[in-house]
Amino acid sequence: MKLTRITQALAQFLDISGEPEPGAAVPEILSIHYDSRSVTPGGLFVAVKGLKSDGHRFIADAVARGAAAVVAENGASFETPDVPLILTSDSRRALAIAAGEFYGHPSTYLHLTGVTGTNGKTSTTYLLESIFREAGFATGVIGTINYRYGGRTFPNPMTTPESLDLQKILADMVEAGVTHAIMEVSSHAIDLDRVFGLSFDLGVFTNLSQDHLDYHGSMESYWACKKKLFTEYLPDSGKDSSAVINITDSEGTELASAVSVPTYTTGSDTSDIFLENARIDIRGIEGELVTPLGRITISCTGIGQHNIENILCAAGAALASGATLIQIGKGIAEFNVPGRLERVPNSHGFHVFVDYAHTPDGLLNVLETLRPLTRGRLITVFGCGGDRDKGKRPKMAAVAEEYSDLVIVTSDNPRTEDPSAIIGDILEGLTSQKLEPSDFDDDIRPRGYVVEPDRQSAIAFAIQFAKANDTVLIAGKGHETYQILNTGTIDFDDRIEAAKALENHG
């Protein structure tokens, strides 16, 4: 692809300078890069200011590796390269635009659904994927756990990939015959323009609660970012786009009144889509799904009110995408999400669940689900990630303490932080009695909390003292198969550790 084609695309959205002069030799662009280490001869290097490093510092390295041209930001400090240089006011948007042009704007050939919200994004995408499968749609999914299409699954390093990677994944999906793509859209992705230039057919809003304030700074900023998918991206998609909005909380109600595209509301008996005569127990959910197109009895093995909200969002999205009620019912019955209230099987008479809940609201949803279904003690194992929002740590502790008989505080992904400092922040939210392992035996079952920084030992301790009819919740990591420490990343899976502990249970 000639560089002029990319510069023409950039000029449609951004002020740029440095376009090749008429008649001048114009390089052929064979690839696009935002990491100088990946540059190959004939590549276009887009220098992006990252959260930890500035790509402008690596322009010389990119050129040395064979970059045919460079896009950089006005006012940035860098050594002028000896290749065509295009200057713009926003290199992140430039990367998204260039990537879209290079890969042929694949989102325009897909029915693209974006799911955003603090909690429930992953479960909703799995539900919708299950329904789409029943509807016979060739489906691809990009989400927190992985991205997958055509029977293949790939690891995903972030909820929403960088714009260049995202455009390539979508292009690969188109080439593989995918017709319907579903993607989780994080607030970071919206704010960092990773989804800029995508043509969405449908936007789904699950809910809003505190998260990522270490990045956004305030709930107002966080909420404003989430709304952009509905108030900017959907109306500007160039498609007959629509929205599905959970109006259980006030933000959803606010959003539903602000959108300008056709909308299904969900979550209450006054909304367009709701569940009537709902039954929730430890076995799952049943009820009658009521929609503008009719009603159908549904059931699934997922548990909890929050899963009802996810089901309703997915059902609305499926209706908006052309699925029938029969297909929706079958898809809901078949759905399962790794690491979301995932049951660890055992024959000891108690229940063990692993869940990804890592925010106060997420933990509250899970514990509010498990508490009334638990006939014995509810034992909660949790920690908080390092280098993330510190304000949620005592709030999560308070939630865990309110609903649990025993709280075991441990490490999550401490990253570069001292695990003991993270635990110290968590303990500020606890007011009950601190216990030691010596306080427990087969006959003594005290209430309070235990501190066990080693996550493997914390899981083993919780399961060791569980009795018949108890429930053990291991929260925070869910589907993750690793733990991020200051010394690096190690293999670690809560489900595997719980299974090991269950084997050793007396």
CATH of the domain at 251: 3.40.1190.10
Considering only CA atoms, which of 313, 284, 289, 277 is closest in space to residue 300?
A: 284
384 three-state secondary structure: coil
User: What mean pLDDT is predicted for residues 295-304?
Assistant: 92
CA angle 258, 264, 268 (to 5 degrees): 95
Give this prediction's pTM: 0.81
- How many Å apart are CA 45 and CA 52, to the nearest integer? 18
CB contact at 8 A, 163 and 189:
no
Q: Do 363 and 455 sit in the same domain of this protein? A: yes
- What's the average model confidence in pLDDT over 187-201? 94
Q: What is the pLDDT of residue 144?
A: 85
439 and 482 belong to one structural domain: yes
Answer yes or no: do 161 and 266 share one domain: yes
377-423: pLDDT as tens digits: 999 999 999 999 999 999 999 999 999 999 999 999 999 999 999 99
Domain boundary among 101, 124, 147: 101
Q: Which domain holds residue 476?
A: 342-503
Average pLDDT over the chain, rounded to whole? 94
Contact 123, 307 (CB under 8 A): yes
The residue written with tokens 């694949």 in the block is 106
pLDDT at site 216: 67
Supply the CATH number for residue 23's domain: 3.40.1390.10
Q: What is the pLDDT of residue 217?
A: 74
Same domain, 138 and 17: no
Which helix (H) or strand (E) is 246 found in, with range?
A: strand 242-246
Distance separating alpha carbons of residues 221 and 210, to the nearest angstrom? 11
382/483 same-domain check: yes
Are residues 311 and 212 part of one domain? yes
Stronger pLDDT, 53 or 290, i.e. the higher one: 290
Q: Is the pLDDT of residue 147 over 80?
A: yes
Per-residue confidence (pLDDT) for residue 36, from 0 to 100: 97
Q: State whether residue 111 is helix, strand or coil.
A: strand
Residues 318 and 356 in one domain: no
Residue 323: is its pLDDT beyond 70? yes
83 and 110 inside one domain: no
Q: Total structural domains in the chain?
A: 3
Could you write out the DSSP letters of every residue in 179-222? -EEEEE--HHHHHTTTTTT---SEEEE----S--HHHHSSHHHH
Residue 91: φ, ψ to 5°? -75, -25
Task: Supply the CATH number for residue 416's domain.
Answer: 3.90.190.20
Domain end residue (candidates: 74, 101, 128): 101
Is the same domain home to 314 and 463?
A: no
Cβ-based neighbours of 235, under 8 Å, separated by 6 or more: 241, 260, 261
Q: Are residues 298 and 197 in the same domain?
A: yes
pLDDT digits (tens, 9 = 90+) for 19-28: 776 766 789 9
pLDDT (tens digit per residue) in 105-118: 999 999 999 999 98
The answer on 286 and 180 residing in a single domain is: yes
- 310/419 same-domain check: no
Of the residues 101, 123, 141, the one at which a domain ends = 101
